[in-house]
């Protein structure tokens, strides 16, 4: 395990002209307005070094930078927000660090000590604290990422990298329930590939099939396994959950994480929270046939994507082989609405942080 008990020196170079006056707290688009500063670290000569916070701005990069040619890049997504005590808090940031390090390993990127990630993250948020929005449903989205910056065209792991964290105030990712299509031709990830790493190539490969689905009137796809297209894996860029009501309290089904399914932090948290609230949760392979059968007989009462950006994104309809199955109205969905309400209460300090998820900045 990497050492986590030392402090690092961060050179803070504050901007001379803040852009905070450009922020409309009541109308915040997702991912288009960026905060004043960014944290940067460089990997060279075998070590992470040169830690600084500088004004947000463009980068100078060699056209031969490895990431531009061979996609050696990884990223994370997380949020900061104000709770009811007027504190800026983070949701499970160490989970993001651990997952970033797993992505590092898969993509042959040098790992970093936890203090670089955590101290850089917290210092950046503290410097740009005024950018954390307070309007209902908004938050400060945080994007840590690493990319190969070495100018070299040989196909091998690069010897130089940049680690950057920047932030942007955001509103809701999805403003309405989504319509999704079960994908049975294209593949998001295959066993043995990079499906459980947050690397850019995974998302680029998903754009074309998602574009085709959008041309058919869907918002996103439900991805299935690469071998048979029999098992459900993810929904768009999120993990997915279903609620089957067979006359009892109802149970939650969600595919198990593995090398083709991202180990989502929101997913992990909602599974734990649902069990704590007394709901039955089954983490097991879920077939397309099972979900189609449940929709036909009316037993599928809820379906939703789960992830950092949207937290819970309700699914309004699922298309399978040209047939659209409409799902029950959002206001009737007792389990997902209950879990979301409880999660929000924990994050806002209206309810006890009984899992130790929240970290104050």
- pLDDT class of 309 with cuts at 50, 70, 90: confident
> What mean pLDDT comes out for the span 47-67?
97
pLDDT of the residue at 1: 38
The string of pLDDT tens digits covering residues 1-30 is 344 458 899 999 999 999 999 898 888 888
Least Cα distance to 222 among 237, 212, 200, 211 occurs for 237
Least Cα distance to 185 among 155, 219, 208 occurs for 208
Mind listing the domains of the chain with CATH numbers? 11-170 (3.30.470.10), 178-347 (3.20.10.10)
The string of pLDDT tens digits covering residues 146-196 is 999 999 999 999 999 999 999 999 987 777 899 999 999 999 999 999 999
DSSP SS3 for 199: strand
Cβ neighbourhood burial of 151 (10 Å; 0-12, 13-18, 19+): middle
Helices (H), the chain: 66-70, 93-106, 114-127, 200-215, 265-276, 288-296, 334-347
The string of pLDDT tens digits covering residues 195-211 is 999 999 999 999 999 99
- pLDDT class of 248 with cuts at 50, 70, 90: low
DSSP letter string over 235-257?
Answer: ETTBEEEEEE-SSSS-EEEEPPP
């Amino acid at each position: 395990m990497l050492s986590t008990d030392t402090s690092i020196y961060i050179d803070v170079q504050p901007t001379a002209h803040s852009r905070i006056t450009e922020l409309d707290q009541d109308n915040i688009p997702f991912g288009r307005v960026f905060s004043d500063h960014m944290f940067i670290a460089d990997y060279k000569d075998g070590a992470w070094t040169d830690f600084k916070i500088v004004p947000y701005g463009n980068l100078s990069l060699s056209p031969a930078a490895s990431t531009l040619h061979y996609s050696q890049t990884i990223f994370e997504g997380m949020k900061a927000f104000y709770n009811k005590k007027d504190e800026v808090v983070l949701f499970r940031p160490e989970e993001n660090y651990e997952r970033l390090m797993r992505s590092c390993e898969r993509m042959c990127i040098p790992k970093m000590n936890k203090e670089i990630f955590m101290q850089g993250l917290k210092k950046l948020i503290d410097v740009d604290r005024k950018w954390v929005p307070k309007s209902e449903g908004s938050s400060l989205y945080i994007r840590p990422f690493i990319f190969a910056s070495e100018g070299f065209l040989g196909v091998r792991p690069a010897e130089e990298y940049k680690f950057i964290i920047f932030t942007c105030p955001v509103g809701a990712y999805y403003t309405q329930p989504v319509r999704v299509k079960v994908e049975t031709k294209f593949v998001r990830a295959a066993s043995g590939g990079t499906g459980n790493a947050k690397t850019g190539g995974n998302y680029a490969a998903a754009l074309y099939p998602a574009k085709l689905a959008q041309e058919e009137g869907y918002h996103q796809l439900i991805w299935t396994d690469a071998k048979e297209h029999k098992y459900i894996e993810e929904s768009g860029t999120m993990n997915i959950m279903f609620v089957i009501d067979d006359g009892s309290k109802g149970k939650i089904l969600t595919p198990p994480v593995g090398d083709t399914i991202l180990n989502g932090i929101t997913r992990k948290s909602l599974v734990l929270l649902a069990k704590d609230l007394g709901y039955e949760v089954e983490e097991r392979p879920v077939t397309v046939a099972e979900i189609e059968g449940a929709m036909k007989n009316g037993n599928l009462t809820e379906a939703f994507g789960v992830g950092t950006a949207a937290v819970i994104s309700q699914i309004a309809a699922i298309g399978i082989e040209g047939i659209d199955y409409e799902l029950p109205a959002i206001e009737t969905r007792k389990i997902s609405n209950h879990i979301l309400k409880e999660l929000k209460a924990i994050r806002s300090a209206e309810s006890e942080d009984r899992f130790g998820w929240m970290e104050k900045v």
